[in-house]
Amino acid sequence: MTVEQSECVGTVATIWRYPVKSMRGEELNAAEITLRGLDGDRRFAVIDAETGKVASAKHPPKWGRLFDCRALLEPNATNGQAAPVHVMLPDGQWTRSGTSDMDERLSALLGRTVRLTAAVPVTPKLEEYWPDVPGRARQDTVTDEVMPAGTFFDGALIHLMTTATLDALRRLYPEGRFEVRRFRPNLVVASPPGEPRFLENDWINRTLAIGRNLRLKVTGPCARCVMTTLPQGDLPEDPGILRTAVQHNRAAVGLYATVLTPGRIVRGDQIRLL
């Protein structure tokens, strides 16, 4: 199928990057998508000095305060160096990667000795807490999860979701605040009016053409975790967010994708289903 014969399924509404795993990120007007994902996304992570595991807010009792931090990638790196990251701590103070101050302040915040790094462990692992949500196989337990080799990603290089799905979830659970930041996608697709709920379930194993050159292969649904329920900023803690996803779409909200052809994306770019 050519692009001309394909179906337009929406436009790029927003673009998001999360320079440090499990910290709040930044909204962008445009971004480069490489074969390793959105440039700068999940470039850094916090490592537990005692266990060597990647710190993740998927285990809130241990690492939930990461969500109180915000990470911004420095826009212009020099001398061929990777761009450093700036982190705003809960007290509003900023610190920068590559300094001892960063590790000391994060360790004090988290109550454990940690270090911020861009070096991925040989076998990256994280701890995940599974809350007591009816309909899930795991209940009120913590498991060790192996991450994709060479990355700080949970499941795939790109995560996207549609406004149609967000709107559907709001109708199903009006008391909940289904906002994009709960779900941490890279791309939000503005769906045409009247699209059915969870329409992206039909995109699995299909290719999305975005802008001039970008091609994404949709690999599967994104099963949600406890992070969607956590407070962040003015968003309250709400277990109903995850319960609604479990009850109505097998816990999936959004999709995972890999990059077939790199390209630049800009807000408003058309998205076509090949």
What sign does the CA torsion over 96, 75, 180, 160 have? Answer: negative
Q: Residue 81 pLDDT more than 60?
A: no
Sheet holding 85-88, edge to edge: 70-73, 85-88, 94-96
DSSP H helical segments within 71-184, as ranges? 100-110, 163-172, 180-183
Q: Domain segments of the chain: what residues?
A: 3-273
Of the candidate ranges 22-26, 75-79, 141-145, 207-211, the one whose mean pLDDT is the lowest: 75-79
Q: Residue 3 pLDDT more than 70?
A: no
Element (H, E) at 264: strand 263-266
Please report which confidence band the pLDDT of residue 4 belongs to, taking 50, 70 and 90 as the band edges.
low
The whole-chain average pLDDT of the chain stands at: 94
Of the candidate ranges 21-25, 76-80, 191-195, 221-225, the one whose mean pLDDT is the lowest: 76-80
Whether domain 3-273 has CATH 3.40.190.10: the reply is no
Q: Residue 1 pLDDT more than 90?
A: no
pTM: predicted TM-score of the whole model, two decimal places? 0.94
